[in-house]
């Protein structure tokens, strides 16, 4: 008897290989231009230069007076320094003259520092004096300080590359893009990702649950994760465990860049997603050397890339975090190095991603690590990365992926 032929596709790939396979199936990301106010959560498609300097002129960081530091060095509360007020500089309306020895001008936050002055004394450290002759003077209770002067271009200078392609436009980065002078920003076109849950027992929340059924949590969790990755989601709902129903659902994904499914890819008789891809589609790999999430399968169906995630709620979300998110965003998972407060066991044949709780700067085992225990993901702060065969002892440093 001849042994069965080995499969015509890779089995038991590493996490890195799985990520690379998926990345290779995704289309090149072209750029589009959007108004900066509409760009929250988008990804910059090219570097952004400063079109102006900020501050655009040397200015005051405080309300007070601008003076020559050298005139004020002896000022104390008991021996104040007296300066003559010769004018005012306010934001948008600079003082036109020059500050000479013994003089100062009143100045306000963001107002240009007048020529001659090099230091600021805040209004809280001033006393007013109005002598008979009508001249205006102030008494400084402490020296004026150059530290309260904001130099021209201290934040950024015209022509400087301030933001990099690939950066996600968070609120502070959007504000910065506007400050650089950009009314429009170049962003990567969003990938369209179709999403399908599978399983005869899976029902949408909002209707009564019969014995043996389970609410469709994967659709909701994966949808939210896809939005975090700046993708357009094409929700396909859920399909029962039948090859015909699955085919019909996949056909509704036409036009998407990739289809993510959950369920039906493991070793069971009713795992038809697996059969469909292996028997009638194309397979890039089946099974990843990781836990949770081992049964994942990547393939294609009529030119559409299809990534079949396992149905277990923890597995599908962990595979998303560890493989799908980095492939979609082009960024490796963000890891932190933390001290382990408890041991984390290693698996001999695969990497483990245990749920961990961060407390006081170290990470401890959440305890319940079953891939059906969705609370372990929602209660945990991080996935603790335990490479194949490398057990972690309490006190060791470990990499964690923040959830």
Applying CB under 6 A, which of residues 53, 72, 125, 197 lies at the interface with ligand AMP? Answer: 197
- Residue 61 site contact among ligand AMP, Mg ion, none (CB < 5 to 8 Å, cut-off depends on kind): none
CB of 218 to ligand AMP, least distance (A): 3
Q: Does 218 bind ligand AMP (CB under 6 A)?
A: yes
CB of 180 to ligand AMP, least distance (A): 43
CB of 213 to ligand AMP, least distance (A): 8
Helices assigned H by DSSP within 216-366: 217-228, 243-251, 272-275, 313-319, 325-329
Q: Strand (E) positions, 131-240? A: 137-140, 149-150, 161-163, 184-188, 192-198, 202-203, 214-215, 232-239
Applying CB under 5 A, which of residues 64, 112, 186, 263 lies at the interface with Mg ion? Answer: 263
Q: Does 266 bind ligand AMP (CB under 6 A)?
A: yes
Q: Among all chains, which residue has been given the structure tokens 């929250």?
A: 40
- Residue 214 site contact among ligand AMP, Mg ion, none (CB < 5 to 8 Å, cut-off depends on kind): ligand AMP
Q: How many Cα atoms within 13 Å fall on the side-chain side of residue 252? A: 16
Residue 89 or 312: the one with the smaller Cβ distance to ligand AMP is 312
How far CA 205 is from CA of 5, 201, 217, 391, in Å, comes to: 44, 12, 8, 39
Which residue pairs, CB below 8 angstroms and at least 24 apart, start in 266-274?
Answer: 266/295, 266/310, 266/311, 267/295, 270/200, 270/241, 272/198, 272/241, 272/242, 272/243, 272/246, 273/198, 273/246, 273/297, 273/308, 274/308
Beta bridge partners of 136: none
Q: In 3D, which of 238, 240, 297 has the Cα closest to residue 266?
A: 297
- Residue 313 site contact among ligand AMP, Mg ion, none (CB < 5 to 8 Å, cut-off depends on kind): ligand AMP
How far CA 301 is from CA of 25, 188, 223, 237, 308, in Å, comes to: 12, 26, 21, 18, 12
Q: Does 216 bind ligand AMP (CB under 6 A)?
A: yes
CB of 270 to ligand AMP, least distance (A): 8
Applying CB under 6 A, which of residues 87, 112, 143, 263 lies at the interface with ligand AMP? Answer: 263
- Phi, psi dihedral angles at 159 (to 5 degrees): 90, -10
The DSSP letter of residue 102 is: T
Applying CB under 6 A, which of residues 53, 125, 261, 312 lies at the interface with ligand AMP? Answer: 312
**Which segment (39-47, 49-57, 167-175, 256-264) binds Mg ion by CB under 5 A?**
256-264
**Which segment (27-35, 193-201, 331-339, 341-349) binds ligand AMP by CB under 6 A?**
193-201
What is the enclosing helix (H) or strand (E) of 119? strand 119-122
CB of 109 to ligand AMP, least distance (A): 54
CB of 308 to ligand AMP, least distance (A): 9
**Residue whose beta carbon is closest to ligand AMP:** 311
Q: Does 264 bind Mg ion (CB under 5 A)?
A: yes
Residue 294 or 311: the one with the smaller Cβ distance to Mg ion is 311
Q: Are 180 and 48 in contact (CB under 8 A)?
A: yes
Residue 276 or 340: the one with the smaller Cβ distance to ligand AMP is 276
Q: Hey, what are 289's tokens? A: 């050397």
Applying CB under 6 A, which of residues 52, 203, 214, 346 lies at the interface with ligand AMP? Answer: 214
Q: Does 217 bind ligand AMP (CB under 6 A)?
A: yes
Q: How many residues bind ligand AMP (CB under 6 A)?
A: 18
**CA–CA gap between residue 278 and residue 262 (Å, rounded):** 16
Count the Cβ atoms, other than its own, within 10 Å of residue 244: 10
Q: Does 310 bind Mg ion (CB under 5 A)?
A: no
164-203 residues in contact with Mg ion (CB under 5 A) are 199
CB of 273 to Mg ion, least distance (A): 8
Q: Does 356 bind ligand AMP (CB under 6 A)?
A: no
CB of 199 to Mg ion, least distance (A): 4
Q: Hey, what are 329's tokens? A: 């965003």
**CA–CA gap between residue 87 and residue 106 (Å, rounded):** 6
Residue 43 or 312: the one with the smaller Cβ distance to ligand AMP is 312
Write down how long the chain is.
Answer: 403
- Using CB under 6 A, list all residues that contact ligand AMP: 197, 199, 201-202, 214, 216-219, 262-264, 266, 268, 310-313
- Using CB under 5 A, list all residues that contact Mg ion: 199, 263-264, 311
């Amino acid at each position: 008897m001849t042994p069965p032929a080995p499969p015509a596709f890779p089995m038991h790939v590493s996490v890195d290989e799985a990520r690379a396979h998926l990345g290779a199936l995704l289309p090149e990301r072209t750029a589009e231009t959007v108004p900066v106010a509409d760009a929250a959560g988008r990804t910059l498609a090219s570097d952004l230069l400063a079109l102006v300097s900020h501050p655009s002129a040397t200015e005051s960081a405080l309300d007070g007076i601008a003076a020559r530091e050298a005139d004020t060095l002896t000022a104390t509360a008991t021996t104040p320094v007296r300066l003559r007020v010769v004018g005012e500089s306010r934001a948008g309306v600079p003082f036109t003259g020059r500050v000479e020895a013994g003089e100062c001008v009143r100045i306000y936050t963001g107002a240009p520092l007048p020529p001659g002055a090099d230091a600021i004394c805040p209004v809280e450290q001033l006393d007013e004096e109005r002598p008979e002759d009508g001249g205006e003077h102030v008494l400084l209770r402490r020296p004026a300080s150059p530290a309260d002067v904001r130099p021209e271009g201290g934040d950024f200078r015209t022509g400087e590359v301030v933001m990099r392609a690939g950066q996600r436009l968070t609120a502070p980065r959007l504000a910065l893009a506007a400050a650089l002078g950009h009314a429009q920003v170049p962003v990567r076109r969003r990938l369209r990702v179709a999403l399908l849950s599978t399983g005869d027992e899976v029902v949408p929340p909002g209707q009564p649950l019969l014995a043996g059924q389970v609410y469709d949590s994967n659709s909701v969790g994966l949808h939210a994760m896809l939005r975090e990755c700046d993708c357009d989601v094409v929700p396909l709902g859920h399909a029962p465990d039948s090859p015909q129903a699955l085919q019909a659902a996949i056909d509704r994904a036409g036009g998407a860049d990739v289809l993510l499914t959950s369920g039906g890819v493991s070793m069971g008789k009713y795992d038809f997603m697996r059969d469909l891809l292996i028997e009638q589609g194309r397979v890039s790999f089946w099974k990843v050397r990781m836990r949770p999430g081992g049964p994942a399968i990547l393939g294609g169906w009529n030119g559409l890339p299809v990534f079949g995630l396992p149905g277990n709620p923890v597995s599908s979300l962990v595979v998303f975090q560890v493989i799908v998110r980095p492939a979609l965003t082009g960024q490796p998972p963000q890891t932190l190095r933390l001290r382990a407060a408890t041991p984390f066991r290693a698996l001999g044949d695969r990497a483990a991603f245990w749920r961990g709780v961060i407390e006081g700067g170290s990470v401890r085992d959440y305890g319940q690590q079953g891939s059906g225990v969705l609370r372990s993901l929602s209660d945990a702060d991080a996935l603790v990365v335990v490479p194949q065969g490398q057990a972690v002892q309490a006190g060791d440093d470990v990499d964690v992926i923040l959830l």
